[in-house]
Chains A and B, each alone.
Chain A
Amino acid sequence: MNNSEPNHKHRNFKGQLPDEAIVCFTRKHWVQLFPYIFTALLVCVFALYLPFLVGRKELEPLLTSGGFFVLSSIIIGAITYALHYIFTKIFNYYLRIILITNQRVIDLNKTLFINDQRLTIMLSEIQDISMERMGIMQTIFNYGTINIVISGVTKTKPLHRIPNPDYHFRKIVQARQEYMNRLATVTRDSAVNVTENIYAQQNAFRPLPVEAPELAENVVTRERIFQPITTDAVLPLQ
């Protein structure tokens, strides 16, 4: 294996940056699945009741041998489709993830077969964040919307049906604050480094004074900076 290839073993998700760490992640609230769960229950009840329904005397005139075959085929096909549809929706629920890392907020909208969307908002691009939890349902089941205003385009990206929105709102604010502090530290350090480099370069290429050659010993030159230490210059240990 080539050593220059990045090591993907310790990555948590596809597209994770080398120095990126996950602060927290969440899925949408289960309220989103409510229609599918309700449909699944109806389908199960209907499927379990079907053998008893077919055996009823009242339906016998309707169910001739050909009619029964067609009807049973349609019902079996429909319920099989419904079962797959509901479970696929439930698995899609598990694949939809919102990640808060130390560099960005990522909305992974992936489904099993069709969709693969990723929305990334860099923490430095976030201008404003707001959280709203409105209505009885949202208050009882503790979910809401987090609105992220992106600077530059002044566009709002709403994250709907986020469970425990207070917690995730705080996490985004906290991650953004830490990111900005880190960015400020890096900028300050790099500014100091640039100043030191400019100072060193100026000293390295300073011409020797012509008028007073006896002062030339005190001028720091590139050769003097990188002069190797000789054994004579090392003081003996006491």
Chain B
Amino acid sequence: MLLQIALFSIFHTLSALFLVAVLYRLYSYIRRYRFNESKYTLLFGFVHMHWFVWFYVGALLVWSVISYIIMF
């Protein structure tokens, strides 16, 4: 049980650290490169990058809950 908790913690700590690193790099890029987005430059014509940021955070949170259910 203790090993399971340790492994679960390590997985999701590494995952969260990677998430922070990605967001830091992404927003440092956004600060340096400023463009006026239009429907011709967005993904599928309407999907903003910020939406994916929220979706990324949400997906990892949901996955951590699902993985908790699986593991314990």
Chain A interface helix/strand/loop/mixed: helix
A94 x B71 contact (CB < 8 A): no
Contact A12 B35 (CB under 8 A): yes
Closest A residue, CB atoms, query B55: A87
Of A20-28, A185-193, A213-221, the one with at least 4 CB within 8 A of chain B: A20-28
A13 interface neighbour in B32, B41, B55, B69, Cβ under 8 Å: B32
- A180 at interface, CB cutoff 8 A: no
Q: Are A14 and B49 in contact (CB under 8 A)?
A: no
Q: Which residues of A contact B11 (CB under 8 A)?
A: 73, 76-77, 80
Count class of interface residues, chain B: 20 to 34
- Distance of A33 Cα from B47 Cα, bound (Å): 13
Contact A88 B63 (CB under 8 A): no
A112 touches B25 (CB 8 A): yes
**Are the CB atoms of B67 and A25 closer together than 8 Å?**
no
Is the interface on chain A under 10, 10 to 19, 20 to 34, or 35 or more residues? 35 or more
The verdict on A41 contacting chain B, using a C-beta distance below 8 Å, is: no
How far is B18's CA from A77's CA once the two chains are assembled, in angstroms?
14
Which residues of chain B in 17-69 are interfacial with respect to chain A, using CB atoms and an 8 Å cutoff? 18-19, 21-22, 25-26, 29, 32-35, 40-41, 43-44, 49, 52, 55-56, 59-60, 63, 66-67, 69
A44 vs B62: C-alpha distance in the bound complex, in angstroms? Answer: 11
Interface pairs A-B: 10 shortest CB-CB: A76-B67, A87-B56, A94-B49, A112-B25, A13-B33, A14-B32, A72-B71, A80-B15, A72-B70, A12-B34
